[in-house]
Structure 1
Amino acid sequence: MTLLIFFILLIILVLAGSTSYAGWRAAPWAPTFKADSKRFLKLANIEPSQKIYDLGCGDGRLVLASAQAGGEAVGFEISLLPYLIAKWRILRSPFKKKCSIKFKDFWRVSLSDADIVYFFLMPKIFTKIKAKLEKELKPGAKIIIYAWPMEGWTPIAADCPTGKTPIYVYQR
């Protein structure tokens, strides 16, 4: 019985630690609302075989939506619980061949082949991610940001309805 309690506590500690680390690195897990996923898809205007990267993909809902829209979607997540949920959702999806989830820190991933990069991250890291995007993205790549604008960039489109979270689209 003591061993069982130890393993349960260990699992809780690992999950809590992983979530805390992800929150410290870029953002806590806060899913994009389902209705806003539709707004993202409209703004993204995904074409077949475009590569979509979701940085900090959480439960994978936008990865799946992007694959369903015809893109090849890859989500990156470092928080264990959302990663496991996303993996499970994708394994059960009919679009599993068009999407994947990586348990990987997006800071250590090259974004050079992405056509669309999406994120819902805290503005405290925007200066750092802006430099990464400017350095790595190919010309013409879209950057779609949920909630906060990128300082110093002018959006090519924005969806900011009253009472809803804004979504900004930029192009490299």
Structure 2
Amino acid sequence: MQQEPQKRSRRGLILLGITGTSLFGIYAVVVPFVVPAFRKHCLPFVPATPRQLLTVMRHLKCPKRSPNSSSVVDLGSGDGRLVIAAARRGFDAVGFELNPWLVWYSRLVAWRLGVSKLARFYRQDLFRAPLTRFDNVVIFGVDGIMGDIEEMVVRDARPGTRVLACRFGLPTLVCDAKHGRGVDSVWIYDIRASAKE
């Protein structure tokens, strides 16, 4: 008779353990996707469309000095698809992403595809990304952050850098070209020394 309450108690503890572990797992996965919505600069993860990727890849700048040494940075790299596509074409490609799950996922995919030496991912706020060493800067932004992105690019990118703004253009810089329409729009800016004055 005494074993029945012990069995119930053990089942209750097991159920409590399973529930607690499940809640912790859900919390650990969901929080990195939700917390960015409460930051000053909200940039949700929205995967790039195949058309956007194709347009960006067509317009990445390859310096004449050495086509194999061109570099690309994706600010807010999400699942890493642009960085990996650029690495597969021989670019030295870097992605900065705040969500740790997306960083680890991107690293895993790059490793699986054999491009982990050219495609590197870092967990970092995109507004702290060092831009001076890159030939190409890509941002899949939202309207509310493009003014701050423009300030950062004008301040930090060296003359000759190509900026590809996807979905939304930079508010005051005059673009050199625009391709696509709607969510597939890509604005192309070549940073000149005069933009820094």
Could you say whether these structures have the same fold, taking a TM-score greater than 0.5 normalized by the shorter chain as the test?
Answer: yes
CA positional deviation for 1:105: 1.2
1:13 alignment partner in structure 2: 27
Specify which of 36, 43, 57 is matched with residue 27 of structure 1. Answer: 43
1:165 alignment partner in structure 2: 184
Larger radius of gyration: 2
Contact kept, 8 Å, 2:61 with 2:135, in 1: the verdict is: no
Tell me which of the two structures has the higher relative contact order, counting C-alpha pairs closer than 8 angstroms and 6 or more residues apart. Answer: 1
Distance 1:164 1:126, change over 3 A: closer
Contact kept, 8 Å, 1:29 with 1:82, in 2: the verdict is: no
Q: Which runs of 4+ in 1 moved over 6 A?
A: none
| Distance (whole Å) between structure 2 residues aligned to residue 83 and residue 8 of structure 1 | 23
1:150 alignment partner in structure 2: 170
Whichever residue aligns with residue 171 of structure 1, its letter is D
Deviations 1:23-59 (A, max 9, x none): 4433110010123211111011443211210011111
| Distance (whole Å) between structure 1 residues aligned to residue 75 and residue 159 of structure 2 | 19
Contact kept, 8 Å, 2:71 with 2:92, in 1: the verdict is: yes
Contact kept, 8 Å, 1:146 with 1:166, in 2: the verdict is: yes
Distance 1:125 1:40, change over 3 A: same
The alignment covers a number of residue pairs equal to: 171
User: If each structure's helix is expressed as a fraction of its own residues, which one has the higher value?
Assistant: 2
Structure 2 counterparts to residues 1-172 of structure 1, below 5 A: 1=14, 2-23=16-37, 24=39, 25-46=41-62, 47-161=67-181, 165-172=184-191
Normalised by the size of structure 1, how large is the TM-score?
0.90
Structure 1: runs of 5 or more not aligned = none
RMSD: 1.7
Normalised by the size of structure 2, how large is the TM-score?
0.80
Determine what percentage of the aligned residue pairs are the same residue: 22
Structure 2: runs of 5 or more not aligned = 1-13, 192-197
Distance 1:32 1:153, change over 3 A: same
Whichever residue aligns with residue 166 of structure 2, its letter is Y
| Distance (whole Å) between structure 2 residues aligned to residue 111 and residue 7 of structure 1 | 41
CA positional deviation for 1:62: 0.3
| Distance (whole Å) between structure 2 residues aligned to residue 130 and residue 38 of structure 1 | 23
